[in-house]
Amino acid sequence: MRRAAEIETTMDPLPDRLPLVIGVTGHRNLRDQDVPTLEREVAAIIAGLRHDYLHGDSEAPIIVLSSLAEGADRLVARVALAHGARLIAPMPMPIEEYRRDFEPGLNAGNAVEFDALLAQAIAAPVLPFTPDNSLAAVRVDAAKRGQQYRAAGLFIAQHANVLVALWDGNGAAMAPGGTAEVVAFKRRGIPLDIAGSARASLDASEIGPVIHVITPRRKETSAAQEVSVRPWGRAVIRRHHGGLPQRALRAAGVFIATVLGRDVADKRETLPDDERRELEAWETFAALTALTRTFNRDAAQLTLPPRPDRAGPSLDALFGFAPPSPIDSNALMQTAMERAPRWCRMYAIADALAQRWQTQFGRDWLHLYACALLAFLCFAFFSNVGTLSNLLLILYVLGFLGIFVVVVRAHVGQHQGRFLDYRALAEALRVAVYWRILGIARPGGEIADPVLPAMHGTITDAYPIKQPSELAWVKIALRVLELVDLGDRPSEPGRLDAAGHAAARHGWVRGQYAYFRTRGYRLKRSADVITAHGLVLAASAPFVIVPIVLAFTSPAPVGAESALRTMLLIASGLLPGIGSIMNEYSERLALGARARQYDRMRMLFERACDLVPERLDEGNAALTRAIYLELGQEAMRESAEWVSTYRQRPIQPPK
């Protein structure tokens, strides 16, 4: 029997997209008469998820996480594979040892079915032994064996976007790694005494929705008598919020109450805790799945003919070194594509999309303030010039209509949200690429959780948790990519060697230092220029124009002098307004704040340039690795904090 990493598959490789991950847990001792019904219900669930949350998007693959224990695990795996899903089978212990639980016994096809499904898995990672556990211990101690099943349950709960539980609902007996415990992990998070890590428990990114298929067991004491499916997904939301008309009416009522300054009671606060958590889990799942669906759709459009490849330049820029550089960028790109092929491709996609939507977001603000300036000018001339008054009034109205159209279009299209989400993902993937090259981001890495299985994820664990809920999508995307990466088989895993060190030192550290230094200066220069122009325009009215106007007040101006006086009066009102618009434009784009943030990053990477040695040897390897580790964590933290702050500046009409 070959190890999981050696199992071959004839399936096509996963596309460079973010998948929907379905976890599986359930009873082993299913009743034979229930199997056909359960298969139909599971097929309906997969079809429902694909329809309701992926909207039939063929770009988003579906991955099923199943440990392939007999019963529920295998049933869901069979059905999912038949419906086009991919299978990843986390093994709670070495495969040969795990197979002892499926010796023929009463069922001659037990082990055969296990091997057949395992052969179809794109990956079957063997989870490391938990602390104080070993192969010898799990062979003789049922409690130690249970710890490994719990580790598999934790892995599934942490990586699944949604959990399908074929369970009778009996939560009284919480056996380690049992269905009830895995469901509790997904619904309420991993308890501190099990996680053994305050950070992991506070993060609780594993919390999500559970689809409960009520499933009887082959025992008289089973808590269920027949198969049924509890309401899930949209049905849960409709049960609490009603259909679309009811939600629209409630939204209108909330808006009116807000205008009147009245408080509106949140219905969630009146729900029992379990119902409130279930509702919130499905609402969050819908929002996060929508982001994944949008990303996959945008990624597919990058390569639509006849458009040029927009992701290629982003990949080239990732390895564009600051001169002078002794490193051949083509050679480094080849090394990176060998060690982290998917991470490189996903970075290129995310960066290209971030640049696209950043450009669109900048255009939105430019168009917004252009319309505001048009409306302001038309109103000023309408108030002071009698001729063409009707045309000016029409243009004034059109200016405000333009503001409304720009704001609505930007909000509906989520231009700012796409820019920020994709930029946050791209910056995290930049760190991931170089960590892969350096050998940091792999199972057993230095920052893997000390209690939970080391394969639980290195890059994901390093991503900060002090962020708004919207950025949870970035962390979930990283976790999904780490999971998908288990199915990839790069020719050589990343490791800290001279080539990787040279690549990171010149491509990442020196490259980022040069970027932040240049870009920060440009942003600061732009902010200073706009601010200076705004001050000049604001000061020109009282100190330049008003004295000129006073010169024409005695005697009463007539003819050309009267027209000049009128124009000067208009200018005295216009110039401060234009200056104010320019200053607000700079403030809304946070040019000064971004320049300061870039300057902080410049200093960080400049210090790293001084600390990272030019040559790697045994004496400095450990400290060099620690610097790269801390630098990556700080870069992701700074990026997440900046994106979180920038979200507080949504596009809106000028004030």
| CATH code, 152 | 3.40.50.450
Same domain? For 366 and 457 the reply is yes
pLDDT at position 558, please?
53
Q: Which helix (H) or strand (E) holds 283?
A: helix 273-302
pLDDT of residue 350: 95
Task: Identify whether 561 is part of a domain.
Answer: no
What is the DSSP secondary structure assignment for residue 128, as one 8-state letter?
P
Portion of the chain with pLDDT greater than 70, in percent: 79
Q: Which residues pair with 23 in a beta bridge?
A: 65, 163
Structural contact between residues 279 and 333, judged by C-beta atoms closer than 8 angstroms: no
> Which residue, 655, 16, 653, 646, is CA-closest to 358?
646
Q: pLDDT tens digits, residue range 428-438?
A: 999 999 998 88
Examine the domain organization and report whether 227 and 317 are in the same domain: no
Cα angle 145, 151, 154 (rounded to 5 degrees) comes to 145
Task: Give me the mean pLDDT over the 112-135 stretch.
Answer: 90
Mean pLDDT over residues 608-636, rounded?
Answer: 88
88 and 486 in contact (C-beta within 8 Å)?
A: yes
Can you give the pLDDT at residue 614? Answer: 87
pLDDT in tens, 565-584: 566 666 666 666 676 767 76
Q: What is the pTM of this model?
A: 0.85
Q: Report pLDDT for 322.
A: 57
Average of per-residue pLDDT across 193-212: 81
Q: Are residues 28 and 170 in the same domain?
A: yes
Residue 444: what pLDDT?
A: 37
Residue 545 has pLDDT above 80, yes or no: no
Residues 333 and 227 in one domain: no
Do both 227 and 348 map to the same domain?
no
Residue 589 lies in a domain: no
Among 234, 251, 274, give the residue marking a domain's end: 234
Which of left, alpha, beta for 17 (phi over 0: left; psi -120 to 50: alpha)? beta
Residues ≥6 apart with Cβ < 8 Å to 106: none
CA distances from 581 to 165, 364, 373, 569 (A): 56, 15, 8, 19
DSSP label of 448: S
Residue 473: inside a domain: yes
Does residue 385 form part of some domain? yes
What percentage of the chain has pLDDT greater than the value 90? 30
Q: What is the pLDDT of residues 284-299, one digit of tens each?
A: 999 999 999 999 999 9
For residue 446, the model assigns a pLDDT of 40
CB of 217 closer than 8 Å to CB of 31 = yes
CB 341, CB 488: distance < 8 Å: yes
> What is the overall mean pLDDT for the chain?
80
Cβ atoms within 10 Å of 198's Cβ, excluding its own: 9
Same domain, 335 and 473: yes
The last residue of a domain, from among 176, 205, 234: 234
Instruction: Give the range of the structural domain holding residue 467, as residue numbers without chain letter.
Output: 311-494+618-646
613 token code pair: 């040695």
C-alpha 559/C-alpha 140 separation (Å) is 108
Q: What is the pLDDT of residues 99-117, one digit of tens each?
A: 888 765 545 568 888 999 9
2-11, 68-77, 194-203, range with the lowest pLDDT: 2-11
* Mean pLDDT, rounded, for 320-324: 62
Residues 318 and 191 in one domain: no
The per-residue pLDDT for 228 is 93
Comparing 195 with 285, the larger pLDDT belongs to 285
| Cα 544 to chain centroid, rounded | 53
The last residue of one of the domains, among 199, 217, 234, is 234
Same-domain pairing of 85 and 186: yes
Which carries the bigger pLDDT value, residue 451 or residue 523?
523
Please indicate, yes or no, if residue 257 is contained in any of the structural domains.
Answer: no
Residue 548: closest CA among 575, 567, 574? 567
Given a cut of 70, is residue 451 above it in pLDDT? no
Q: Report in angstroms the alpha-carbon separations of 137 from 132, 146, 148, 454.
A: 9, 11, 11, 19
Q: Residue 454: its pLDDT value, please? A: 39
| Strand extents, DSSP E, 187-258 | 210-214, 228-229
Look at 19-33, 307-321, 518-532 and tell me which has the smallest mean pLDDT: 307-321
**pLDDT exceeds 60 at position 630:** yes
The whole-number pLDDT of residue 266 equals: 66
Residue 511 belongs to a domain: no
In this prediction, residues 476-492 reach a mean pLDDT of 76
Strand partners for 212? 165
Angle between helices 72-82 and 110-119 (to 10 degrees): 40
* Of the candidates 426, 427, 423, 454, the residue with the CA atom closest to the CA atom of residue 440: 454
pLDDT at 490: 47
Question: pLDDT value at position 452?
Answer: 36
How many domains, in total, are found in the chain?
Answer: 2
Identify which of 614, 623, 439, 616 has the alpha carbon closest to the alpha carbon of residue 510.
614
Residue 319 reports pLDDT greater than 80: no
What is the DSSP secondary-structure string of 89-102?
Answer: --BSS-HHHHGGGG
**Domain assignment of residue 654, yes or no:** no
Q: Is residue 536 part of a domain?
A: no
Tens of pLDDT, residue by residue over 21-53, are 999 999 988 998 999 999 999 999 999 999 999
Q: How far apart are CA 623 and CA 254, in angstroms?
A: 56
